[in-house]
Amino acid sequence: MLEDVAFSDKLLTSIVLTTSSCNAEKEKLRMEHSNLLFVINPHAGGKNKLEITSEIKQCCTGKSLFPYLYETTGINDKEEILKRMDHLKPEAIIAVGGDGTVNLVGDLLLNSETALGIIPAGSANGLAKDLNIPVNFEEALDIVQDFYTTKIDTLKINGKNCFHLSDLGFNARVVHRFAESSFRGKISYFWYALKEFFSYKFFAYKINSSELKKEGKAFMMVLTNANKFGTNITINPIGIINDGYFEISIIKPFPKIFAPLILFRLISNTISKSKYFIVLRLKKATISNSWKEFFHIDGEPVTERSEKLEVEIIPKSLKVILPETRQ
């Protein structure tokens, strides 16, 4: 377990309002004598977490920032973080890990004034990429210290919080297989995708909302209010992270021989030009799929598969630290 460092009373912070390109006022808090709780996942990604620890300490020295470090174990982390929140009353909690770590911290900060900071240290880092937070550790740490914040929308899916994206169908199956295996990295992910693809059967769905009703079959269906996967592939070209809507992006069934074309469309970020792609913009919907298709939330496989997914946007429910220049 990493040790906690430094502690002091907090002094007042001053607030400067500025505008944001993502349709919300951005606040800048001058961080002085502020407690920051870093939640570090030692399991995520590849970066040496000991190095991270010393860099955090070094960076905060002389800046009146008081970093506390908590290393996740994968067991009881929520309870442990809650205890520290109660004691430290941190200005922000910084998730140092991938989307699973962001989800863990985000869950605890929903509808609160404590900000979520992200230092991407996972294998994909989807939300960080969508917020234009650099994957470079030092640059991401600088952004945390600059402390520009805005409130973003989040999704509720069958009572669970989703901060980046969830999907059903092909990719979710690969995520499940990958999570069950002991192999890691892009090559093994690609291997599982290839294995899954040849036996894969498209699934049937029904979408019911006050805005529209739709039914059909899908190769995969993504639920998000962000734009892209952690791989930087755009799957929701119309997503705005704080507009009060989420999108359902659907890749429709296609002849399997067209797979290279679909892959090309995805990689070149031109999937919206494909006739096999549609995107729906909604506030609330029920998605039925009698097959109980596999799905995941923020990269974490959901084991209780369900015939019905109740999805809803929760507007401006999470305060996040993001770069001043985020476009």
Ligand X SMILES: Nc1ncnc2c1ncn2[C@@H]1O[C@H](COP(=O)(O)OP(=O)(O)OP(=O)(O)O)[C@@H](O)[C@H]1O
- CB closer to ligand X out of 65 and 81: 81
We find the least distance from the C-beta atom of residue 117 to ligand X, in angstroms, to be 14
Over the window 13 to 52, marking each residue x when it contacts ligand X by CB under 6 A and - when it does not, the resulting string is ----------------------------xxxxx-------
Integer Cα distance of 132 and 135 in angstroms: 9
Integer Cα distance of 67 and 62 in angstroms: 12
- CB closer to ligand X out of 75 and 257: 75
Integer Cα distance of 299 and 174 in angstroms: 11
Tally: H helices and E strands in the chain: 8, 18
Considering only 52, 115, 124, 175, the residue that binds ligand X (CB under 6 A) is 124
C-alpha dihedral over 92, 283, 134, 299, to 10 degrees? Answer: 90
We find the least distance from the C-beta atom of residue 45 to ligand X, in angstroms, to be 5
Identify the DSSP state of 275: T
Considering only 35, 53, 123, 150, the residue that binds ligand X (CB under 6 A) is 123
Under the binding rule (CB under 6 A), the answer on residue 74 touching ligand X is yes
Under the binding rule (CB under 6 A), the answer on residue 106 touching ligand X is no
DSSP 9-77: PPPP--EEEE--TTSS-EEEE--SSEEEEEEE-TTSSSS-HHHHHHHHHHHHTTTTEEEEEEE--SSSH
We find the least distance from the C-beta atom of residue 77 to ligand X, in angstroms, to be 7
Range in contact with ligand X (rule: CB under 6 A) among 5-13, 92-100, 110-118, 207-215: 92-100
Integer Cα distance of 140 and 156 in angstroms: 27
Under the binding rule (CB under 6 A), the answer on residue 117 touching ligand X is no
Considering only 165, 299, 313, 317, the residue that binds ligand X (CB under 6 A) is 299
CB count in 10 Å sphere of residue 32 = 14
- Residues paired with residue 288 on neighbouring β-strands, in sequence order: 206, 308
Under the binding rule (CB under 6 A), the answer on residue 67 touching ligand X is no
191-250: which residues touch ligand X (CB under 6 A)? 230
Under the binding rule (CB under 6 A), the answer on residue 125 touching ligand X is yes
Length of the chain: 327
- Residues paired with residue 224 on neighbouring β-strands, in sequence order: 165, 247
Considering only 90, 98, 106, 117, the residue that binds ligand X (CB under 6 A) is 98
Range in contact with ligand X (rule: CB under 6 A) among 47-55, 118-126, 200-208, 318-326: 118-126
Range in contact with ligand X (rule: CB under 6 A) among 72-80, 141-149, 193-201, 261-269: 72-80
Considering only 67, 90, 97, 106, the residue that binds ligand X (CB under 6 A) is 97
Amino acid at the residue 326: R
Range in contact with ligand X (rule: CB under 6 A) among 56-64, 98-106, 266-274, 307-315: 98-106
Range in contact with ligand X (rule: CB under 6 A) among 66-74, 131-139, 236-244, 271-279: 66-74
DSSP 130-196: HTT--SSHHHHHHHHHH-EEEEEEEEEETTEEESSEEEEEHHHHHHHHHHHSS--SHHHHHHHHHHH
Residues near 132 by beta carbon (within 8 Å), at least 6 away in sequence: 322, 323, 325, 326, 327
Under the binding rule (CB under 6 A), the answer on residue 73 touching ligand X is yes
| Site residues (vs ligand X, CB under 6 A) | 41-45, 72-74, 97-101, 122-125, 230, 299-300
